[in-house]
């Protein structure tokens, strides 16, 4: 159970609202789908019996009654529902107020919670944002969220964000009725597997950006790309925040003894957990490599600054010699070396030139210039 603090009065009021909407078997009960109370949020819903979509059940109310009797299960998908719509769904399926509170708010941390016989999972979805050139403001990884309520006779999915799509997942499962026949736990696995597969795809795409920025960073004046490296590191951290916290829930689902999770389904969760660990290691390596590249970039900046300072110092030293000589002769004393010679002016210029050339060759030999 979540350890967050909550307003007890608000929770009590929400619980009272849910209590007034508890699932009933009466035939006169209004159909929330037909009445339009979920308009704008409802993506799809279906009743599944023995793994097949039961087309004869065209009433949401009838589907709920059959699901409660153990004749199959209902799968309803919602996209960014309002608090009122979530309250209706919570009352229909007896969902816990704390879980509904989490489902109503985006930007949740990936987690798995158990409320009596219902599992509540939060998964971060990710999507790679194509871009022509990686800049200091490029968006590389976009995220969304999928919340899954999985209980006896029902699955409720709540999506937040444009990048939380579960494209084609329902159709894929409907093409495998033997899997759907196992029960709601299979839907939870399919969603987790879909999300983790997207992690792998995004990680592979980010790898190409990593290779490009690394090669550019270690070119002459490559330190000028340091802002791009920092932006990519921020995007990788966004991916890391989606992947890393999910390892605990996936490990729990692969070992959890729960009526909704059949033994065979646990084996599939182990496979998802294995893929997740692999992508987690890859993302962590991205983060570490980018940190190293940033440090190398900062070292390049310091080296470049030292080289510039040596060049400046060398030219200052070279120019200091003629400046000193000219300054001495500019004091207009009557008695100066070679002052009365016919070619004294050219001799002094020659001394300046020889001194400057000598200093230039000395600094060049020492790689200051």
Digit-coded pLDDT (tens) for 74-94? 999 999 999 999 998 998 888
pLDDT at residue 2 tops 70: no
Q: Tokens 């019996």 map to which residue?
A: 49
Percent of the chain exceeding pLDDT 70 equals 86
Residue 1 resides in a domain: no
User: Of 258, 280, 300, which residue constitutes the final position of a domain?
Assistant: 300
**In the structure encoding, which two tokens stand for residue 63, read together?**
């589907």
Query: What are 315-359's pLDDT values in tens digits?
Result: 888 888 788 777 766 656 555 566 666 666 677 778 878 888 888
Write the CATH number for 340.
1.20.58
Query: What are 148-177's pLDDT values in tens digits?
Result: 999 999 999 999 988 778 878 999 999 999
Tell me, what's the pLDDT at 342?
Answer: 66
Residue 181 buriedness (CB in 10 A; 0-12 / 13-18 / 19+): middle
pLDDT at residue 9 tops 70: no
Q: Which of 230, 5, 238 is nearest to 125 (CA)?
A: 238
Torsion sign, CA atoms 86, 87, 92, 98: positive
Q: How many domains in the chain?
A: 2
The shares of helix, strand and coil residues in the chain, as percent rounded to the nearest 5, are 55, 15, 30
Do 359 and 264 reside in the same domain of the chain?
no
Do 95 and 193 reside in the same domain of the chain?
yes
Residue 312 buriedness (CB in 10 A; 0-12 / 13-18 / 19+): exposed
Tell me, what's the pLDDT at 50?
Answer: 92
Q: What is the mean pLDDT of the chain?
A: 82
Tell me, what's the pLDDT at 27?
Answer: 36
pTM for this entry: 0.74
Q: Which of 367, 328, 333 is nearest to 351 (CA)?
A: 328
Do 296 and 329 reside in the same domain of the chain?
no
Do 347 and 255 reside in the same domain of the chain?
no
Do 113 and 208 reside in the same domain of the chain?
yes
Do 244 and 311 reside in the same domain of the chain?
no
Tell me, what's the pLDDT at 23?
Answer: 36
Q: Where are the beta strands (DSSP E) in the chain?
A: 42-49, 52-53, 73-79, 111-115, 118-128, 141-151, 154-160
Do 210 and 247 reside in the same domain of the chain?
yes
Residue 2 resides in a domain: no
The domain containing residue 359 runs over which residues? 304-365
Do 281 and 353 reside in the same domain of the chain?
no
């Amino acid at each position: 159970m979540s350890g967050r603090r909550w307003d007890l009065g608000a929770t009590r009021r929400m619980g009272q609202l849910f209590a007034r909407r508890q699932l009933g078997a009466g035939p006169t009960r209004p159909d929330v789908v037909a009445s339009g109370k979920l308009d704008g949020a409802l993506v799809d819903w279906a009743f599944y019996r023995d793994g097949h979509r039961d087309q004869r059940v065209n009433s949401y109310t009838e589907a709920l009654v059959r699901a409660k009797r153990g004749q199959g299960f209902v799968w309803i998908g919602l996209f960014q529902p309002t608090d009122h719509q979530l309250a209706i769904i919570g009352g229909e399926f007896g969902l816990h107020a704390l879980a509904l509170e989490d489902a109503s708010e985006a930007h949740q941390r990936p987690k798995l919670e158990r409320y009596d016989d219902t599992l509540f999972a939060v998964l971060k979805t990710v999507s790679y944002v194509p871009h022509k050139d990686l800049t200091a403001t490029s968006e590389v990884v976009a995220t969304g969220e999928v919340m899954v309520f999985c209980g006896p006779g029902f699955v409720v999915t709540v999506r937040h964000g444009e990048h939380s799509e579960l494209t084609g997942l329902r159709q894929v499962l409907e093409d495998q009725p033997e899997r759907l026949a196992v029960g709601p736990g299979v839907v939870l696995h399919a969603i987790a597997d879909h999300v983790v597969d997207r992690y792998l795809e995004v990680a592979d795409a980010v790898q190409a950006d990593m290779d490009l920025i690394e090669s550019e960073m270690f070119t002459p004046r490559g330190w000028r790309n340091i802002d791009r490296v920092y932006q990519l590191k921020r995007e990788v951290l966004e991916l890391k925040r989606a992947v890393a916290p999910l390892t605990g829930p996936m490990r729990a689902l692969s070992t959890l003894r729960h009526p909704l999770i059949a033994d065979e389904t646990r084996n599939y969760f182990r496979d998802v957990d294995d893929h997740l660990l692999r992508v987690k290691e890859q993302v962590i390596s991205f983060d570490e490599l980018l940190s190293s590249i940033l440090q190398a970039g900062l070292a390049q900046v310091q080296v470049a600054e030292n080289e510039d300072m040596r060049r400046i110092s060398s030219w200052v030293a070279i120019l200091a010699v003629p400046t000193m000589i000219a300054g001495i002769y500019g004091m207009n004393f009557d008695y100066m070396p070679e002052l009365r010679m016919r070619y004294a002016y050219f001799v002094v210029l020659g001394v300046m030139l020889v001194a400057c050339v000598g200093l230039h060759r000395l600094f060049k030999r020492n790689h200051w210039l």
